[in-house]
Amino acid sequence: MAKQFTGKTVTLTMAQALVQYLQAQHSERDGQTTRLIPAMYGIFGHGNASGLGQALWEYGQDLPFYQPCNEQSMVHTAIGYAKALCRRATLACTASIGPGSTNMLTGAATATINRIPVLLLPSDYYATRHQGPVLQQLEHPVSADVSVNDCFRPVSRFFDRISRPEQLLTALPQAMRILTDPAETGAVTLALPQDVQGHAYDYPVHFFDKRIWRIERRPADPERIREAVELLKSARRPFIIAGGGVHYSEAWGELEAFSNQLGIPVGETFGGKGAIRGASELLLGGFGLTGTPAAAKIAAQADLVICVGTRLTDFATGSHSAFENAGVRFLSINVTGHDAYKLGALPVTADARLALKDLTAAAAAAGVKPNPAYLDEVRETRQGWLKRVHEEIYQQTPGEIMSQGQLIGVMNDSARPG
């Protein structure tokens, strides 16, 4: 084969190159740099023990390996890790050929649906084929090139099968780009054929240099902010739906400032729980299927619904039955255009923190102020719900063991803000 590079190269197997590369990747946001893939989960078996396993042993000095007891659980753990770090880092997961790898499908779907980065490395059949089928190979009767790993295609934001070692040179940068793009992130799947993991290639040395992937905060278009202010000026009963995107943008302070300055009550989706971290009088608790009666009552008559970092699924919208005001309009702040345009909303496709900051300042400059009568109604509704919670739900039922509601009350009373 003709030599591909004129600069300095290093001969590594595909698996060794993969391990080396992952240890050199970092993410950066707001000046804070962290390892993008600081560790790997995996269960060794057919397809990853001799290739990737040996590479981790020889070259994984700064890539700790943890062995769980179930493939699905390790992907969900990686998802939890990524959520806890507000998507600034995640973990890699490897599994053996066949059912071992397909056990990661549920986690892949969870990650992609919920916009959470995770790197999946399922083992795959022999690419060269002369060895014959492996123990748990699909052996499709009419599509010889089909692998069970093709199941990952619809539940991955990026999928590639590494059938030659040099394909890492394009596949890995693309994978890292997806993992660090707030608008595109989700499960990234690189299927690794067992034999190709051990194939050697002369990789350019600079491929393994430290690389920092910036997680960008995309600003809002000024014209969209102007249009959003016009909606706020005409609204008498605005309502905010705070989704998980508030957490991933770390926009807690900006959301609370926006709510307080303009007098807009907030309901939190399941993913947005804790978006308002203080004891705000405008926080009505959960919204949607798992929400509070207070949030449902206020939202039902809202004339402007401001959606911040939410996918607007049926859990939040009650299958589009939560909003009963015939003239209701929607304003959506979301880093993903696909979500920002839902429900015919005015889309502000931008980072939540930056958009809320700009919108708060623009609304103040335009003279947008709270509606006193509406604020009184919101506070009265909130107090009515809290009274019921403390007098009914948190109380011991005579003759019964401690209820779930009573236990939650004890925990809430003991918990600190934030």
Strand order in the sheet with 25-29: 32-35, 25-29, 211-214
Report the pLDDT averaged over residues 197-202.
96
Closest CA to 375 of 229, 265, 275: 265
Which H/E stretch holds residue 84? helix 71-84
In a domain, 30, yes or no: yes
The CATH number covering residue 245 comes to 3.40.50.1220
Q: Say yes or no: 313 and 174 in one domain.
A: no
Q: Say yes or no: 275 and 356 in one domain.
A: yes
Length reported for the chain: 418
Report the pLDDT averaged over residues 256-273.
96
Q: Say yes or no: 241 and 208 in one domain.
A: no
CB distance 254 to 333 below 8 Å: no
The C-alpha atoms of residue 38 and residue 113 are separated, in whole angstroms, by 23
Cα dist from 17 to 147, 174, 199, 207, whole Å:
24, 16, 10, 9
Q: Say yes or no: 339 and 201 in one domain.
A: no
φ, ψ (nearest 5 deg) of residue 233? -65, -35
Using CA atoms in the order 402, 405, 408, 409, what is the torsion angle rounded to 10 degrees?
-90
Query: b/e per residue, 327-345, with b = 16+ CB within 10 A?
Result: ebbbbbbbbbeebbebeeb
pLDDT, tens only, 148-179: 999 999 999 999 999 999 999 999 999 999 99
Report the pLDDT averaged over residues 129-145.
69
The C-alpha atoms of residue 248 and residue 202 are separated, in whole angstroms, by 39
Q: Say yes or no: 201 and 298 in one domain.
A: no
Percent of the chain with pLDDT over 70: 95
The CATH number covering residue 199 comes to 3.40.50.970
In a domain, 388, yes or no: yes
In a domain, 4, yes or no: no
pTM metric for this prediction: 0.93
The C-alpha atoms of residue 335 and residue 353 are separated, in whole angstroms, by 10
Rounded to the nearest integer, the mean pLDDT of the chain is 94
Q: Say yes or no: 145 and 34 in one domain.
A: yes
Q: Say yes or no: 207 and 232 in one domain.
A: no
φ, ψ (nearest 5 deg) of residue 253? -65, -40
CB distance 14 to 197 below 8 Å: yes
Q: Say yes or no: 376 and 240 in one domain.
A: yes
pLDDT, tens only, 359-370: 999 999 999 999
**Domain tally for the chain?**
2
CB distance 348 to 224 below 8 Å: yes
pLDDT at 417: 67
Give the 3-state secondary structure of residue 333: strand
pLDDT at 313: 94
In a domain, 3, yes or no: no
CB distance 178 to 213 below 8 Å: no
In a domain, 165, yes or no: yes
pLDDT at 1: 45
pLDDT at 415: 83
pLDDT, tens only, 355-412: 999 999 999 999 999 999 999 999 999 999 999 998 988 988 888 899 998 999 999 8
pLDDT, tens only, 206-225: 999 999 999 999 999 999 99
Q: Say yes or no: 191 and 332 in one domain.
A: no
Q: Which of 214, 232, 261 is the last residue of a domain?
A: 214
pLDDT, tens only, 228-244: 999 999 999 999 999 99
pLDDT at 127: 73
Confidence grade of residue 86 (pLDDT, cut at 50, 70, 90):
very high
Report the pLDDT averaged over residues 290-309.
96
The C-alpha atoms of residue 206 and residue 190 are separated, in whole angstroms, by 22
pLDDT at 132: 61
Confidence grade of residue 278 (pLDDT, cut at 50, 70, 90):
low
In a domain, 2, yes or no: no
The C-alpha atoms of residue 18 and residue 25 are separated, in whole angstroms, by 11
The residue that leads in pLDDT, 133 or 40, is: 40
Q: Say yes or no: 122 and 232 in one domain.
A: no
Q: Say yes or no: 230 and 335 in one domain.
A: yes
CB distance 106 to 151 below 8 Å: no
Domain of 396 in residue numbering reads as 222-414
The conformation of residue 15, written as its DSSP 8-state character, comes to: H
pLDDT over threshold 50, residue 114? yes
Percent of the chain with pLDDT over 90: 85
Q: Say yes or no: 193 and 60 in one domain.
A: yes
Confidence grade of residue 137 (pLDDT, cut at 50, 70, 90):
low
Q: Which of 163, 195, 214 is the last residue of a domain?
A: 214
pLDDT over threshold 90, residue 277? no
Which H/E stretch holds residue 26? strand 25-29
CB distance 184 to 178 below 8 Å: yes
Confidence grade of residue 253 (pLDDT, cut at 50, 70, 90):
very high
Q: Which of 182, 214, 246 is the last residue of a domain?
A: 214
pLDDT at 4: 61
In a domain, 1, yes or no: no
Residue with tokens 């303009």: 262
Concatenated DSSP letters of 43-83:
---TTTIIIIIHHHHHH-TTS-EE--S-HHHHHHHHHHHHH
Confidence grade of residue 125 (pLDDT, cut at 50, 70, 90):
confident
The residue that leads in pLDDT, 146 or 374, is: 374
pLDDT over threshold 80, residue 131? no
Q: Could you tell me where the beta strands, DSSP code E, fall in 269-385?
A: 283-286, 304-308, 329-334, 346-349
In a domain, 95, yes or no: yes
